Amino acid sequence: MNFISWHQWHSAYLLLGDKLGLSLELDSFATGVMISTTDLGQHTLEQVEPIRNFFAALFLASIGMLIHVHFLWNHVDILLAVVILVIIIKTIVTISVVKGFGYNNKTSLLVGMSLAQIKEFAFVLLNRASNIHLVKVCASFRDKHFSYFVVHMLMKTVKFIFLYFRKQF
């Protein structure tokens, strides 16, 4: 598939998504999934990888810089409770689903721990669902400092928990 035909097909898909009322985020995600299955996807990944790594490092550093120490100190109890609650609930749900497919305890636990993290895309989905009144979000979750801390902690801690459980088996 050459670039022009790919570009035309992609433009048609985006136009269709716009007519169907799909969000820009969902269109971008679907386009990324479609590109990843083609030869163009591998070429694109090779070209973008250095800048992607730079922006990933910049993103993680900026999240850390956005956390206000006073806010953190004043709300440490609820922040840690949310981080722990998210890890526990996501791990339990994932373990249950994997066990439902017939996998053993070791595999279920490793999959559950590896998928327990939460990333920034979850906040895009939460914000979108809140805007169209699918979910009700309490005031604490709307506070940007709260969100920054929770995302930062979940991105950092789950990796170490996963490595700990992986060594146990």
pLDDT confidence of residue 147: 62
Range of lowest pLDDT (17-31, 136-150, 155-169): 136-150
**Distance between CA 147 and CA 145 in Å, rounded?**
5
Task: Name which of 14, 33, 12 is nearest 22 in CA terms.
Answer: 14
Neighbours of 89 (CB within 10 A): 11
| Higher pLDDT pick, 51 / 154 | 51
pLDDT for 100 beyond 90: yes
Asked if 98 and 108 touch (Cβ cutoff 8 Å), the reply is yes
* Structure-token match 């922040």, residue found: 79
Encode pLDDT of 54-91 as tens digits. 887 787 677 666 667 777 788 778 877 877 888 888 88
pLDDT confidence of residue 23: 76
Confidence of residue 98 (pLDDT cuts 50, 70, 90): very high
pLDDT confidence of residue 113: 79
Question: Does the pTM exceed 0.75?
Answer: no
Range of lowest pLDDT (8-22, 48-62, 105-119, 137-151): 137-151
